[in-house]
Chain A
Amino acid sequence: MTRFQSWHDGRRHVHIWPTSQFHTRYLHVKCHHTLQRDGLTATAILPYLWLEGTTRYPDAAALMRRADALYGTVLRSGISKRADQHIAELYALFPDPAHTREPQLAQRVAELALEVLTSPAHEGNAFVPGHVHRQRTLHERRLESVYDDKMAYAFERCAALALEGCPEGLPRLGFTDDLDSVTPEGLWQAQTRLFEDADIHVYWIGPMEAAEREVERWFTGLPQGAVNAETRRQVQPVPVRAGEARSHEETQPIHQGKLNVVLKTGIGMADPTYPALLMATGILGGFPHSKLFINVREKNSLAYYASARLDALTGLIHVQTGIDPRNKDRALEIIEAQIRALQAGEITDDEFEFTRKGLRHQYLQTLDQPLSLADLHFSGQLAGVDKEPEDWIEALDAVTRDEVVAAAAAMRVDTIYFLHGDAMEGGQGHG
């Protein structure tokens, strides 16, 4: 059943899924190391700097034109985090060469991607100053723009408050205050450090006539990194914090209030009770039939959205709602009451079965979405779990109601965050 065939050499991993099901070919490279305050912002800028140019395509325009000429190959990079891992990513999607007039398309794209990673435009032991200047400015904007999407902002703020003091709580983009000290030389060092230190996972999805040759390309092309390094970083869920839940409020001139809650569970995807926790979270807020949606939105008309989502690696559950700010207390009461009901085993047969089927549907759906499947596989690599969607479906099928209640007992409300406008006029809410 295993879809991905994997090879590894030290810290370098190549995962290939040979399939001819899709019209698109996918190449995804993830370089990750542990989040640390020192050098955080420099690492965060690196993947963006990769697309500023290579030795052969010396600036962003030349590089983008090359990608466009390769039948609009989508060549993108970015920085993300999963638990305490900082992940610099590059991906390329391109059409099945059979639909183009370029039989060598796959090879050309692979060459271009490798060049972007290993041969960025540079001057001596430094990135090109002009490129660094551009990316420093753009990075400042990236940092600022989180503020402009209120749903995302509330999510980030609540998570950061819940994870204060942990590496998991460091922002994936780094800090604005660091930008002044980011230099072309310093970034070059950060690049060297990343490749010495990071685990690198290359995902390739598409028909593959000569997998070994493709693996060879990456093992030869990517830097060797530290000698004999075999460390496979394994992430752990964030432990539950003792004591009362902490509340934070923030005001901005906005119309809709955002009430977010973070629950900690101490359970990650490697834990045998994880499938039960996934069920519990789904029953609480994963679907339109879930407790939060029904009770916050449908029964009380308090919100347009109300959901709960489990982070498979940290074990954090993120509850998000968009509400009329005047209804905050009532919405919070309902959220807390629904968590208590779940923990008390108040789960209807429909809630239980609908959730199981809904999760099954989500896992099956990933089989049509190569990037989602690669992400699921990668999460497994980080957590030390080797499971395909079918394995997760089987595990969900075996979960009992008692196990769900037991898993729900691990949920602790950790942080409550409320973002709202200044004007909190009186009067009752809708409903």
Chain B
Amino acid sequence: MADTAEKLGHRVILEKLPNGLRVCLVPKPGFQQVFAAFGTPYGSIDNSFRRRGESDFHVVPDGIAHFLEHKMFESPEGDVFSEFARRGASANAFTTFDQTTYLFSCTDAVTENLQTLLDFVQSPYFTPESVEKEKGIIAQEIRMYDDSPERRGFFELLRSLYHAHPVRIEIAGTVESIQKITADLLYLCYGTFYHPAQMMLVVVGGFDADQVLDVVRANQAAKSFDPAPDVERQYPAEPPTVARDRAEVRLALSQPYVLVGWKDARTGLTGPDLLRQEVLTGVILDTLFGRSSEAYQRWIDEGLMDEHFSWEYEVTPGYGHTVIGGTIPDPARWEQELEAVVTTACERGLDGEAFERCRRKAVGRFITSLDSAPFIGRGILSYAFKGADLLDTVTALESITLEEANARLREHLASERRAVSIVWPT
């Protein structure tokens, strides 16, 4: 039976099917587009695992989750993209540290597209030849990232923040690591992480909920699956300190690109606590470094940075980090300025008025993003895998206090858990 809830002007329908697959529908009446995302909480960090009954852990090549995502689009009949293209739909997929997601957007033939999505993700087909061919394409994708200051700077930073946690490894792997990937290894990963009981389907947009639910139920009921594997993932112990406090590389750039990061010492949050920590940290960072902050405007005034400056906080049950930075002509001087801003904030606490303004801004920004079906679809999926609900964001924002913010600020932005990554122009 489906559960229905009303949230922020949306009807949210949730159902768990007999095979364990979770289905979440969010109809948006009047919308042309239907966006569907079918995902599994399996990403680049899941590189060491065993299943019940296995004594040893499998350690798989870096980049295999992303490689698997690419290869899923191939079927014995050919390329799955054309099944979607036949109906004017566009399909895509992406892999993050902790999640793989297959998605499509369509304005026609919703139920047919949904069946195609479920069917192709639930029927793996790899041959040694097609695996070899994919290596050339992915190598070009990696080469493209190699030229990106944002991407290079970010991964150098993660390698500095983390000693051992696999979040320090490139999601796509390296040109060398992907050479070790075989069809057999892909089947192993697929069999371990793509069981319906591990996965979730989210559909958002202009569609008939009853009809969609019937089609998904029937599609799943017609397939048989082995029992869900009991999977144990292994992550190395991660000390609270940083691995190194700085990293520097060179690329064809006009100006240095600098990122500063802080890692969380305490991890293990899930559900509403995780969501609350995320919005709390976000409001703190916006208060300190957002466009209307004193620091942001002063740094622009003094030519220390430009508008390509941003902050981000990412948290999962296994790790969490803040990253701020952008194009910075004089990295050493900016680092000093940043240190001073953080120290002062920790000593004096945040300005109460600024904190309230940034909270209000975050509420407004969240509401405006609800016009995007992909935003809702992706968000519901990724929070659900962490036990949280995207649509509780406003409630979480309304519940945070200045006192908590000041405590969190002092705990999180500690200099012993900070690292710097600089991409210099060649």
Which A residues have a C-beta under 8 Å from some C-beta of B? 21-24, 59-61, 64-65, 67-74, 93-96, 99-100, 130, 134, 137-138, 141-142, 144-145, 147-151, 252-256, 287-289, 297-298, 301-305, 322-324, 350, 353-354, 356-358, 360-361, 364-365, 367-368, 370, 429-431
Cβ contacts under 8 Å, B9 to chain A: 23, 99
Cβ contacts under 8 Å, B357 to chain A: 65, 68-69
Contact B254 A430 (CB under 8 A): no
Cβ contacts under 8 Å, A22 to chain B: 371
Annotate B289-303 by CB proximity to A: 1 below 8 A, 0 otherwise.
011101001001101
Cβ contacts under 8 Å, B426 to chain A: 253
Cβ contacts under 8 Å, B297 to chain A: 59-61, 64
Contact A364 B307 (CB under 8 A): no
Residue among A64, A94, A100, A134 with max Cβ neighbours from chain B (10 Å):
A64
CB distance from A359 to the nearest CB of B (A): 8
The reply to whether the CB of B255 lies closer than 8 angstroms to some CB of chain A is: yes
Contact B33 A364 (CB under 8 A): yes
Cβ contacts under 8 Å, A145 to chain B: 254-255, 306, 308, 327
Bound CA–CA A264/B89 (angstroms): 29
Tell whether A304 pairs with B291 under 8 Å between CB atoms, given A65-B357, A256-B146.
no
Cβ contacts under 8 Å, B364 to chain A: 70-73, 94-95, 100
Please list 23 pairs of residues, one from A and one from B, whose beta carbons are closer than 8 Å in the complex, sorted by A's number: A61-B292, A61-B297, A69-B361, A72-B360, A94-B368, A95-B363, A100-B367, A137-B306, A138-B306, A145-B327, A148-B257, A254-B147, A255-B146, A301-B133, A301-B134, A304-B141, A322-B140, A353-B86, A357-B85, A361-B90, A368-B373, A429-B136, A431-B136
Annotate B134-155 by CB proximity to A: 1 below 8 A, 0 otherwise.
1111111101101111000000
Chain B, Cβ-Cβ closest to A21: B30
Cβ contacts under 8 Å, B257 to chain A: 148
Chain A, Cβ-Cβ closest to B30: A21
CB distance from B63 to the nearest CB of A (A): 14
CB distance from B174 to the nearest CB of A (A): 12
Lowest 9 CB-CB distances: which A-B pairs, in order? A357-B88, A430-B136, A71-B364, A72-B364, A301-B136, A72-B361, A144-B254, A95-B367, A64-B292
Cβ contacts under 8 Å, A304 to chain B: 137-138, 140-141, 143-144
Contact B88 A358 (CB under 8 A): yes
Cβ contacts under 8 Å, B290 to chain A: 68
CB distance from A202 to the nearest CB of B (A): 20
Chain B, Cβ-Cβ closest to A141: B306
| Given A95-B367, A357-B88, 10 more pairs with CB closer than 8 A | A68-B292, A68-B358, A71-B361, A72-B360, A255-B143, A297-B137, A354-B85, A354-B86, A356-B88, A368-B205
Contact B86 A99 (CB under 8 A): no
The reply to whether the CB of B8 lies closer than 8 angstroms to some CB of chain A is: yes
Query: Which of B104-112, B222-230, B258-266, B400-408 binds A?
Result: B104-112
Tell whether A252 pairs with B85 under 8 Å between CB atoms, given A23-B371, A74-B368, A360-B107.
no
Cβ contacts under 8 Å, A74 to chain B: 365, 368
Return the contact of B368 from the options A24, A147, A254, A350 (Cβ within 8 A).
A24
Tell whether A148 pairs with B253 under 8 Å between CB atoms, given A134-B300, A141-B327, A357-B86.
yes
Bound CA–CA A360/B108 (angstroms): 10
Cβ contacts under 8 Å, A301 to chain B: 133-134, 136-137, 140
Contact B147 A150 (CB under 8 A): yes
Cβ contacts under 8 Å, B148 to chain A: 149
Tell whether A138 pairs with B252 under 8 Å between CB atoms, given A301-B133, A367-B32, A368-B32.
no
Bound CA–CA A96/B307 (angstroms): 28
Contact A364 B144 (CB under 8 A): no
Contact B32 A365 (CB under 8 A): yes
Contact B32 A99 (CB under 8 A): no
Contact B82 A354 (CB under 8 A): yes
Contact A256 B88 (CB under 8 A): no
- Using a CB-CB cutoff of 8 Å, which residues 263-320 of chain B contact chain A? 290-292, 294, 297, 300-301, 303, 306-308
Contact A72 B133 (CB under 8 A): no
Chain A, Cβ-Cβ closest to B370: A23
The reply to whether the CB of B410 lies closer than 8 angstroms to some CB of chain A is: no
CB distance from B213 to the nearest CB of A (A): 22
The reply to whether the CB of B233 lies closer than 8 angstroms to some CB of chain A is: no
The reply to whether the CB of B31 lies closer than 8 angstroms to some CB of chain A is: yes
Bound CA–CA A70/B363 (angstroms): 11
Bound CA–CA A302/B135 (angstroms): 11
Chain A, Cβ-Cβ closest to B89: A361
The reply to whether the CB of B79 lies closer than 8 angstroms to some CB of chain A is: yes
Cβ contacts under 8 Å, A73 to chain B: 364
Contact B371 A24 (CB under 8 A): yes
CB distance from A334 to the nearest CB of B (A): 14
The reply to whether the CB of B87 lies closer than 8 angstroms to some CB of chain A is: yes
Annotate B406-425 by CB proximity to A: 1 below 8 A, 0 otherwise.
00000000000000000000
Cβ contacts under 8 Å, B120 to chain A: none
CB distance from A301 to the nearest CB of B (A): 3
Contact A361 B88 (CB under 8 A): yes
Contact A358 B143 (CB under 8 A): no
Tell whether A144 pairs with B255 under 8 Å between CB atoms, given A68-B358, A69-B357, A71-B364.
yes
Chain B, Cβ-Cβ closest to A140: B306
Tell whether A256 pairs with B143 under 8 Å between CB atoms, given A145-B308, A301-B133, A431-B133.
yes
Cβ contacts under 8 Å, B294 to chain A: 61
Chain B, Cβ-Cβ closest to A360: B88
